[in-house]
Amino acid sequence: MKLQFSQVSFSYGTQPVLQKLQLQVNSGEFVSLVGPSGIGKSTIFQLANGLLQPDEGTIELDGKPEQNRLGKLAYMPQKDLLLNWRTVVENAALPLEIQGLSRREAHKRVIEQLDRFGLADWADAYPEELSGGMRQRVSFLRAAITGCRVLLLDEPFSALDGITRVDMQEWLLSMWQTLGITIILITHDIDEAILLADRVLVLSEQPIRQVHEFNVALPRPRTVGNRHLPQFQQTSEQIWRVLREARQPATVRLQRGDNR
Amino acid sequence: MKLQFSQVSFSYGTQPVLQKLQLQVNSGEFVSLVGPSGIGKSTIFQLANGLLQPDEGTIELDGKPEQNRLGKLAYMPQKDLLLNWRTVVENAALPLEIQGLSRREAHKRVIEQLDRFGLADWADAYPEELSGGMRQRVSFLRAAITGCRVLLLDEPFSALDGITRVDMQEWLLSMWQTLGITIILITHDIDEAILLADRVLVLSEQPIRQVHEFNVALPRPRTVGNRHLPQFQQTSEQIWRVLREARQPATVRLQRGDNR
Amino acid sequence: GSNASPQNGRSAPNAGPAPDQSASDITELTIGLDWYPNAVHSFLLAAEQQGYFREEHLNVHLQMPSDANDPLKLAAANQLDLAISYQPQIIQARSEGLPVVSIAALVQHPLNAVMVRSESGIESPKDLAGKSIGFPSMPLDESIVRNMVKTDGGDDSGLTFTDVGFDLIPALTGKQVDAIVGGYINHEQLLLEKNGVSLKVFKPTDFGIPDYYELVLATSDETLNKKQPALAAFLRAARKGQAYVNAHPEEALNLLLSKQAQEFPLDEQVEKQSLHILLPLMQSADASFGSQTEANWQTLSDWMYAEKLIGQPVQADAVMKQID
Amino acid sequence: MTNGRRQNIVWFTLSIVLFLVVWEAVCRLLQMPAFILPPPSSVLAALWQQRELLFGLHLWVTLREVLLGLAVSILVALVLTFLMNFSRTVERLVYPYLVISQTIPIIALSPVFILWFGYDLSGKIAVTILFTFFPIVVSAFDGIRSADRQMVQLLKTMGANRWQVFVKLQVPSSLPQFFSGLKVAATYSVSGATIGEWLGASAGLGYFGRRASGNFQAPALFASVLLLSFLGIMLFWLAGLLEKRMTGRRRKRKINKGERFL
Amino acid sequence: MTNGRRQNIVWFTLSIVLFLVVWEAVCRLLQMPAFILPPPSSVLAALWQQRELLFGLHLWVTLREVLLGLAVSILVALVLTFLMNFSRTVERLVYPYLVISQTIPIIALSPVFILWFGYDLSGKIAVTILFTFFPIVVSAFDGIRSADRQMVQLLKTMGANRWQVFVKLQVPSSLPQFFSGLKVAATYSVSGATIGEWLGASAGLGYFGRRASGNFQAPALFASVLLLSFLGIMLFWLAGLLEKRMTGRRRKRKINKGERFL
Ligand SMILES: Nc1ncnc2c1ncn2[C@@H]1O[C@H](COP(=O)(O)OP(=O)(O)OP(=O)(O)O)[C@@H](O)[C@H]1O
Ligand SMILES: Nc1ncnc2c1ncn2[C@@H]1O[C@H](COP(=O)(O)OP(=O)(O)OP(=O)(O)O)[C@@H](O)[C@H]1O
Ligand SMILES: [Mg+2]
Ligand SMILES: [Mg+2]
């Protein structure tokens, strides 16, 4: 499914976040979203999935402006947001239940995946009994299992150790390739952004007026070893440069519309 | 302040996490804790700060077994845990208020630091209005400001972009050096672990019976450039090797005491 | 049985037009009591048990009240055929436009009296001047006390009245008030004395208050119209019942006690004394059981109007009907 | 767990015994007139004397009223909460009446009640409902509205409709507040049935008590009160038990090492 | 905000008007006898006729009882909640009595009340307290216990003692539940004062209503009931306002773009 932002402006109260932003993610594409903390990455996801509506401009799905985007895109939020009265399986099965699957069927599908996520022994555990990384994996599983054609992942691997992370990345890539879905990934790890994506979009100014695009011309399948390819290094450096140049507004003093 | 685990065993119900673990962090030392997701890093922190008590063994502060460790160590939990009815300043000032400072004085001290944390314009914002990375920084500030001689940081930078992260790391190091405090840091970023610490402790087996120690012999001050030193690379590779060898129990199937 | 079937309590009285009184037809009558069954109701139980109602082709249901005024209201609304109520209440209700009439007087004289603790030093109503009086929500009681004090030569201007609701006895024994009005000589007085509180009792009629009927049997204009024969039959049976009680007080009492034992055991001694007090007040040589006179009604009504207890004058023939 | 329950019972018994002792002492030391506040000894004697009537008839009558009333009340409350949750218009139109219904002194309406419900069971149930639905509605409604906003949003991104948000999120997360209300309501249900009986009845503990009160048989009155209290405590306890059952799954797990310090 | 409030008032007025219309219709269509359920027109007429007595005297007497009673009740409830929170022993000993106190029909205790409090203000306040403290205690206590466990732990790691955990975390996070209880209590306070007046009074709306009922003046009775209801609604509304004030700071901010879809 193709996702397109046309001249989208958005602000929280008087604080502008997006200004006439153009953005396009093609069907079947894997795109990474990179940018300083607080710039508006999560906000873009919430606009895409329909939790927020643009103040101006339109958001199009498959070329058609679409007001009601809720339920059309799978979304893994930045916080894990698990229901503490549901077990691991019950939490992950939630979107399937909402799609109308029977409890049994939903649980079955979730249980099939648990092993892959290192949660096989934790099917009946409650969120409070899980470690931070385990909670994140449940949340990831919950988004991945929906079957939507677009997957929005907001820092899905931030709480995972290197090995588990590579594991999950590989699984994500294989899923992407077999299913042909569209994936947008927010990450703070530039290497990860490059390694996984067809295209890296860098946000650097606030409010966001445009995105810097970097096509990743590495052949697939890729491995961690690719990091040392000059092409990889080059893209990485370019991205770092963009981010460093824009450093000031991001961490030292963020621009706000009002001046409290 | 010196922190020592002597023959500490701990289990959740029937699931053992630590078994006769020996662990020592010297006064003024900077130690990183690394290990797969779900192995027990956060549990070690909760034992150290007194939220949990060992089933066997003792935990010593400055050489003396200490039952009541609550309030003696500053703790930044893995989840940000901000109070949603308090503003940024009020949240960060909470430990100071608890130490008995007046509201005014506590707020003053927090406000002095806000700029460093890129939160200057967000002093009166509520947690709901913050991005994930901003919330993490508030939580970090809240722990750092307590004035405790030991700082336990559970993945403090996981939600920060590279540049903000380096900024925060630098601030942390400078604080560590000027105040001479003891810092223990949990991270999934091996480079970060090595770059910051005097010693990296690697946890790899479950239940944890021992830690693999790696002394980082790099001179200080260190910079990101140090990554390319052969010494750095070597330590990094050693750690990866330990982790990879122990891979199985960590991500594929965690060992549990009971067999649900 | 003393209990109405619930069905009847609600709908029987106005279930269609009153059926013609062919001899074999049984007429259902529901009567709302003034209070839970006690000695004063013996004649009803006797009439039932002795078959007097059956002889008159009546099926009578008794109904307990929630509040002393409710039966009259429900009778006025034709929800009950008959209500045992109080003479001043009927006048009050009539003056407020409730279509109620009395068809018989059950207790010919007041039971209501002013009571004080004997050790209070109050020897006669005039000593009440400046005292506090507890009364049970009835403005009439206020007038009664004021007039008694005045008639006795006292000053009523300093009297204070507290509406003590259903707690007359605690008000008096707890020394929260100096006197109570509204208590009955066959109930409150007996109970207080039984509990060792000695009393002085002043009867209203002794101090210038018109003699009135404490309990009367009331119905609505509409019911009276539609069911007059049945009501008359009821009165006949009731008289026979009362005659039986007169003749066999012991048996009547036992009947009451045994009937009530299934729900709430009554105090035999108290009820016995109560019946003893009641019987001479329910009929006498010059007034048969149930009889009432226009003169009596008119006197009370005029007195109440003069006392501004009612806003409209009420004519005796409007509030009472002698139907036999 | 069983240990904890046993301990609870010990405590409860202790507190009841203490209560009786204090009561007896108050009666003796303050020389309360026995027909106003009878000592517990005479109340227990009366309870024993009247055991056949009380346990054979009145207790069951009241129990039935209470249970039926409470059950219907929960149903009514849930339906109201549900409707108010789904329609702002219903909420705005209905909520004021709920409040009004609680401010009207029931005795003022007694003739209306009798007119509409007569003297049978339905009247008592109506009064019990009137006494009990309000705390449930207020807490359930407030509980439902306090569901975590971010979770609501997440469910919406999954395509959940309002009904699904209600069932999957709002209902479970409002349970603690709902049970606060239920516990209050369970306690009130006894008073509700009692008042219902005062409006007109020929059996039941409230009826018995009122007659005893009218006849100044304080020990008998307090015997019925004792039973009513007991009924109320049992219902409160049952509501608490239900709460533990319904929210216990997540609690049970919580009770592990992590709770030692709470 | 002002817009919202104006809208609320419009809705409220609408719902009251609808109420009066339905009431009038019920009276006319069901041909309710006016002395049992008078039509609102005649009630309003009575209200106007008796305005001097009602607004000059009785309303204020009752208002004072209600406000004092409610204020003391909140105090009592908070002290109880506080004690029960800090001592498990107090909780175990006291909680059963709280429940007991709610199951005892007031009629049974009315003589005791009269003996202890007499007929002055204190008696009415006592009854009002009895009617209102319970929902507050139950909700506040449940609210306090439902504070986020992880936050409690975090505060402990900061060295917070129980008092600090109480003040900084448990109290603020129990506010929504506390206010649920307060709203219920505010509504009940009116009934409390009314019943208090029935135990013995010489002024107040409850007293007035009872007298009117004894005199078969249904319109006057309902006029007093109308005022009582109005009082109850105002108190409920005030409690709601207070809730908004106290928990509003965090709500106000929430109401931004993010809420559009709720
Ligand atoms: N509900 C809200 N109300 C007001 N301001 C908000 C709200 N949510 C986010 N913001 C502000 O909007 C800006 C963008 O936030 P967003 O969460 O999109 O950042 P982000 O790029 O995801 O950052 P991070 O990497 O830290 O998660 C921030 O300055 C944030 O403070
Ligand atoms: N309250 C609890 N009850 C039961 N089991 C628990 C509890 N908390 C943690 N565990 C289990 O203990 C183990 C260690 O958890 P811990 O949170 O210490 O992991 P961690 O090393 O911090 O992992 P991560 O990197 O994912 O945060 C995990 O298997 C987890 O499921
Ligand atoms: Mg974000
Ligand atoms: Mg952890």
Q: Which residues pair with C59 in a beta bridge?
A: C28
> Does residue E260 contact residue D156 with C-beta atoms inside 8 Å?
no
Q: Which pLDDT score, from 0 to 100, does residue C185 have?
A: 92
Tell me whether D260 touches chain B (CB under 8 Å): yes
- What does the radius of gyration of chain B's CA atoms come to, in whole angstroms? 19
Q: How far, rounded to the nearest angstrom, does the alpha carbon of residue C38 sit from its chain's CA centroid?
A: 12
Whether A156 is covered by a domain: the verdict is yes
- Model confidence band, residue C261 (pLDDT cutoffs 50, 70, 90): confident
Chains A and C touch (3+ CB pairs under 8 A): no
The two structure tokens encoding residue C58: 């009546």
What does the DSSP assignment read for D86-155? H-HHHHHHHHHHHHHHHHS-GGGGHHHHHHHHTTSHHHHHHHHHHHHHHHHHHHHHHHHHTS-HHHHHHH
CB contact under 8 A, E258 and A51: yes
Ligand 1: list residues with CB < 6 Å: A 12, 17, 35, 37-43, 78, 254; B 128-134, 159; E 256, 258
Mean pLDDT of A131-153: 93
C73, pLDDT greater than 50 = yes
Give residues 154 to 213 of E whose Cβ lies within 8 Å of B: 154-160, 164, 168-169, 172-173
Per-residue pLDDT tens over the stretch D210-240: 888 888 888 888 999 999 998 998 999 899 8
Q: Chains with 3 or more CB pairs closer than 8 angstroms to B?
A: A, D, E
Give residues 44 to 63 of D whose Cβ lies within 8 Å of C: 50, 53, 57
Of C92, C154, C137, C141, nearest to C114 by C-alpha is C141
Give me ligand 4 centre to Cα D169, in Å: 27
Per-residue pLDDT tens over the stretch A216-260: 988 888 887 888 888 899 999 999 999 888 765 444 333 333 333
Contacts of A13 in chain E (CB under 8 A): 256-257
CB contact under 8 A, C6 and D121: yes
Ligand 3 (ion): residues with CB under 5 Å are A 42, 78; B 131-132
Q: Which pLDDT score, from 0 to 100, does residue E78 have?
A: 92
Q: Which pLDDT score, from 0 to 100, does residue C24 have?
A: 61
Whether A251 is covered by a domain: the verdict is yes
Q: What is the ipTM of this complex?
A: 0.85
A96, pLDDT greater than 60 = yes
> Does residue D102 contact residue E188 with C-beta atoms inside 8 Å?
yes
End-to-end CA distance of chain D: 17
Q: How far apart are CA B85 and CA E55, in angstroms?
A: 42
Q: What is the DSSP letter of C290?
A: B
Structural domain that includes position A172: 3-73+148-255
Q: Which pLDDT score, from 0 to 100, does residue E105 have?
A: 81
Q: How far apart are CA D182 and CA D239, in angstroms?
A: 7
Residue tagged 């690379």 (tokens): B233
Q: How far apart are CA D63 and CA D231, in angstroms?
A: 8
CB contact under 8 A, C263 and D53: yes
Q: Which pLDDT score, from 0 to 100, does residue E4 have?
A: 63
Contact pairs from chain A to chain E, CB under 8 Å: 15
CB contact under 8 A, A52 and E256: no
Number of domains making up chain A: 1
| Cis peptide upstream of residue A207 (ω within 30 degrees of 0) | yes
Of A173, A226, A223, A187, nearest to A28 by C-alpha is A173
Please list the rounded mean pLDDT of every run of 10 residues in chain E (262 residues).
68 85 88 86 91 90 94 94 89 86 82 83 91 92 90 93 93 91 92 88 88 87 91 91 78 39 32
Residue of D nearest to B11 (CA): D257
Q: Which pLDDT score, from 0 to 100, does residue D4 have?
A: 64
Whether B141 is covered by a domain: the verdict is no
Domain boundaries of chain E, sorted by first residue = 1-31, 40-260
C59, pLDDT greater than 70 = yes
Q: Which pLDDT score, from 0 to 100, does residue E3 have?
A: 62
Residue of D nearest to C173 (CA): D33
Q: Which residues pair with C181 in a beta bridge?
A: C114
pLDDT above 90 covers a percentage of chain D that reads 34
Q: Which pLDDT score, from 0 to 100, does residue D13 have?
A: 84
Mean pLDDT of D47-69: 90
Tell me whether B239 touches chain A (CB under 8 Å): no
Mean pLDDT of D152-175: 93
Whether A104 is covered by a domain: the verdict is no
The lowest-confidence range among A25-34, B239-248, C16-25, C271-280 is C16-25
The lowest-confidence range among A93-102, C219-228, C259-268, E225-234 is C259-268
B249, pLDDT greater than 60 = no
Q: CB-CB: which of E149, E256, E260 is closest to A13?
A: E256
Chains A and E touch (3+ CB pairs under 8 A): yes
Closest protein CA for atom 16 of ligand 1: A40
Tell me whether D100 touches chain E (CB under 8 Å): yes
C180, pLDDT greater than 60 = yes
End-to-end CA distance of chain B: 42
> Does residue E239 contact residue E186 with C-beta atoms inside 8 Å?
yes
Residue of B nearest to A133 (CA): B37
Number of Cβ within a 10 Å radius of residue E74: 21
Tell me whether E119 touches chain C (CB under 8 Å): yes
Q: What is the mean pLDDT of chain C?
A: 86
A99, pLDDT greater than 90 = yes
Assign a CATH topology to domain D40-260. MetI-like fold (1.10.3720)
Q: How far apart are CA B33 and CA B35, in angstroms?
A: 7
Q: How far apart are CA A169 and CA A166, in angstroms?
A: 5
CB contact under 8 A, C65 and D200: yes
Q: Which pLDDT score, from 0 to 100, does residue C4 have?
A: 35
Tell me whether D21 touches chain E (CB under 8 Å): no
Point out the ligand nearest to the CA of residue B84.
1
Which of A32, A37, A88 is the best substitution to test chain B (most B C-beta atoms within 10 A)? A37
- Pocket test of ligand 1: the residue of A8, A11, A14, A17 to mutate, having most ligand atoms within 8 Å of its CB, is A17
Contacts of C169 in chain E (CB under 8 A): 111
End-to-end CA distance of chain C: 27
Whether A184 is covered by a domain: the verdict is yes
Number of Cβ within a 10 Å radius of residue D136: 29
**Which contacts qualify for A25-29: CB closer than 8 Å, 24 or more apart?**
A25/A150, A25/A182, A25/A184, A26/A2, A26/A182, A27/A1, A27/A2, A27/A62, A27/A149, A27/A182, A28/A180, A28/A181, A28/A182, A29/A182, A29/A183, A29/A198, A29/A199
B255, pLDDT greater than 50 = no
- Model confidence band, residue A136 (pLDDT cutoffs 50, 70, 90): very high
Q: Which residues contact B124 (CB under 8 A, 6 or more apart)?
A: A260, B87, B88, B89
Q: CB-CB: which of D96, D103, D232 is closest to E102?
A: D232
Closest protein CA for atom 23 of ligand 1: A38
Residue A13 CA, closest ligand 1 atom number? 4
Q: Which pLDDT score, from 0 to 100, does residue A252 have?
A: 39
Closest protein CA for atom 6 of ligand 2: A129
CATH number of the domain where residue A36 is located: 3.40.50.300
Contacts of C69 in chain E (CB under 8 A): 213-214, 216
Closest protein CA for atom 8 of ligand 2: A129
Residue B161 CA, closest ligand 1 atom number? 25
Residue B78 CA, closest ligand 2 atom number? 27
Give residues 42 to 71 of B whose Cβ lies within 8 Å of A: 42
What does the DSSP assignment read for A202-244? E--SSSB---EEEE----SS--GGGGGSHHHHHHHHHHHHHHH
Nearest-neighbour CA in chain A from D250: distance (Å) = 5
Q: CB-CB: which of D108, D228, D261 is closest to E105?
A: D228
